[in-house]
Amino acid sequence: MQNGDSVEILTNRSNHGPSRDWLNIVASGDTRNKIRAWFRRENREEHIRQGKEYLEVELKKLGYTPKDLLKGDRLITAAGSQSLQSKDDVFAAIGSGAVNAHGIIIKLVEMHKKYLAENKPPEVSEMLKEIRPTNKVRDRKDDCGVLVEGESGFVVRLAKCCNPIPGDEISGYVTRGRGVTVHRVDCPNILSDGEDVARMIGVSWAASSDLDYVVDIEVVCADRSGMFAELIAVPSEMQLNISSIHATPNKTNKTSTVILGIEVKNSGRVADLMNKLRMLKDVYSVSRPIRVT
């Protein structure tokens, strides 16, 4: 090609940006930097998503609720970099591997524990000391597989009204002499009768818990011959133990309400069981009941 030659420029309307191959073609360093900057911007949203997801998963593994540790500017402070000035900046840096996520997690946990220590009512602090065993060897069943403010070893009682199991979102309430009572967050009995909201405490499921839990499943079905046998066959086929069965017939509408007490390890198994029960003929509803006290 020589000066004065005429050329035709063909454009591709479906191409919305440069190709990475251009980095091997362009001669200008400034142009090359602009191409790299374009790709960084394009990948930013994906890096933000990946970084946020990774951080939340790792915090949950440690027994923490991510939103509690990521309040305010804690994430930016934990990152400790002047170039990361927003949460999205930090998430993007984690997602791209530009920063050490492990170090950020350690700092987040330290800041959260410091905050809890400084803001916990004295009465609650004293009650927590009472319900945490001092002996080195603790019975794992005492804590029901629940972490209190990220730590194990506390005496925990699962509320009978809502029967929380791993996988359920939970909330705790400190009671003198009885330990921490754990409810499902959708349980209407939390803070009933004007209980003190200051005694509410952060709880979460321990990732390593392998305990068995009994959960009640309420089935409303037709009151007909063979229905009962069909119901109990489902958990049996799933190799789930049935700890109790109680049926109440309603002669007015010819239905029966059956409460199945099932031993499970997590809410995922319960969801699978409930879906299978719903597929049975003449089953009208399947739910996990909550007793209002």
Domain definitions of the chain by residue range: 20-116, 122-205, 213-287
| Counts for the chain of helices (H) and strands (E), in that order | 8, 10
Phi-psi region of 121 (alpha: psi -120 to 50; beta: other; left: phi over 0): beta
| Contact present, 146 and 206 (Cβ < 8 Å) | yes
Please report the beta strands in 34-111, taking only residues with DSSP state E, as ranges in sequence order.
none
Structure token pair of residue 108: 């987040």
> 123-132, 138-147, 278-287: which range is least confident on average?
123-132
Q: Which helix (H) or strand (E) holds 12?
A: none
Domain made up of 213-287: CATH architecture: 2-Layer Sandwich (3.30)
Phi-psi region of 178 (alpha: psi -120 to 50; beta: other; left: phi over 0): alpha
Query: CB atoms < 10 A from the CB of 59, how many?
Result: 22
Structure token pair of residue 38: 């374009």
What pTM, to 2 d.p., does this model score? 0.55
Is the pLDDT at 20 greater than 60? The verdict is no
Q: How many residues does the chain have?
A: 293
- Distance, in Å, from the CA atom of 180 to the CA atom of 171, rounded to the nearest integer, reads 10
Q: Average pLDDT in the 117-135 region?
A: 58
Structure token pair of residue 263: 């031993």
Structure token pair of residue 113: 């524990």
Q: What is the pLDDT of residues 172-223, one digit of tens each?
A: 888 766 778 899 887 878 765 445 566 777 788 887 667 889 999 999 999 9
Q: What is the pLDDT of residues 98-111, one digit of tens each?
A: 777 888 888 888 78
Residue 136: which pLDDT band, with cuts at 50, 70 and 90?
very low
- Distance, in Å, from the CA atom of 62 to the CA atom of 208, rounded to the nearest integer, reads 10
Higher pLDDT, 267 or 139: 267
Is the pLDDT at 77 greater than 80? The verdict is yes
